[in-house]
Amino acid sequence: MNLWQAAVFGIVEGVTEFLPISSTGHLMLTAKAFGLAQTEFMKSFEIAIQVGAIFAVMGITGKRFFLRPQVWGKVFAAFVPTAIIGLVFYKLIKGFFLSNEQVVLWALFLGGILIILFERFHREKEGGPDDIAMIPWKTCVLIGFFQAAAVVPGVSRAAATILGGLFLGLRRKTIVEFSFLLAVPTLLAASALDLMKTAHGYDHGEWALLGAGFITSLIAAMFVIKLFLFYIQKNNFTLFGVYRIVLSLIFWGICF
């Protein structure tokens, strides 16, 4: 991998992290398109550049949410189930899932069908909480279990949490904002865990690649978060479901 490829990976991460289309799956497919093998550094790189997207969330939502302890209590309640499942299955996730493009394509394809069917039959409930602080504790924990499904690359952390929240009766804007905030501890924990295990072996060139990916991820994510919040005011996620199906079929046709 060179610097411009690292920058492209960062853009892909920033654009896809908060959309229901799977950032990890897109990063793996980007590596496939570039002809790059899923080495241990590549797997770690794809995890670590998520920090750029985290900084974007903190920059955009900080004034509204970061000084409200009741909000972060709810976020932490949702984070705990994901953290436990991620720790238990860390070796399986990195050793098998992050090396298997077929898993990504099947997850994208089936997830796309699920999103289309969900949006076809789901009716948003009236009276759901319009503020994250008002989400019931039990609902927060259940959202954390939904998010844990995203340990399988291609599932999409955003799709799992947003659809899960909608299924549990939350308003669309509320669960999207909650999904943004839930990304902060989730991605920080995943990146920190992986860096603690692997960073000691990085050379200067690999740190430069991480830096390039971080910067472009940050910039791209800041644009996408604002656009996504605008988009959901009048649209559902059916288009993303169609996109997932088309993308998986294209890669099946070209690469496999």
Alpha carbon 122 to chain centroid distance? 23
For residue 86, pLDDT beyond 80 = no
Calculate what percentage of the chain has a pLDDT beyond 70. 93
Structural domain contains residue 204: yes
Question: How do residues 189-205 score in pLDDT, each as one tens digit?
Answer: 878 777 777 777 788 88
At 92, the pLDDT band (50, 70, 90 cuts) reads low
Kindly report the pTM of this predicted structure: 0.85
- Which letter, b or e, does each residue of 15-33 get, where b requires 16 or more Cβ atoms within 10 Å of its Cβ? bbbbbbbbbbbbbbbbbbe
Rounded Cα gap, residues 228 and 51, in angstroms: 19
Q: pLDDT higher for 94 or 108?
A: 108
pLDDT band at 255 (very low <50, low <70, confident <90, very high): low
pLDDT of residue 137: 94
Question: What does the pLDDT average to over 86-115?
Answer: 78
Does residue 215 contact residue 54 with C-beta atoms inside 8 Å?
A: no
Instruction: Report whether pLDDT(215) > 70.
Output: yes
* Residue, of 125 and 9, whose pLDDT is higher: 9
Chain center to CA of 115: 16
Containing 23, the helix (H) or strand (E) segment is: helix 23-34
User: What does residue 55 show for φ and ψ, rounded to 5 degrees?
Assistant: -60, -35
The domain tally of the chain equals: 1
Judge whether 150 lies within some domain.
yes
What DSSP designation does 215 have?
Answer: H
**What is the per-residue pLDDT for 63?**
62
Looking at the domain assignment, is residue 256 inside a domain?
Answer: no
Residue 157 lies in a domain: yes
The verdict on residue 176 lying in a domain is yes
| 36 assigned to some structural domain | yes
Rounded to whole angstroms, how far apart are CA atoms 78 and 83? 9
Does residue 12 belong to any structural domain of this protein?
yes
| Tokens at 105, concatenated | 């394509």
Task: Compute φ and ψ for 194, nearest 5 degrees.
Answer: -70, -40
Q: What is the predicted pLDDT for the residue at 195? A: 77
The residue segments making up the domain with residue 78 are 3-250
* 139 part of a folded domain: yes
Give pLDDT tens digits for 139-159.
999 999 999 888 888 888 899
When pLDDT is averaged across residues 92-119 and rounded to a whole number, the result is: 82
pLDDT at 139: 94
Longest dimension (CA), the chain: 54
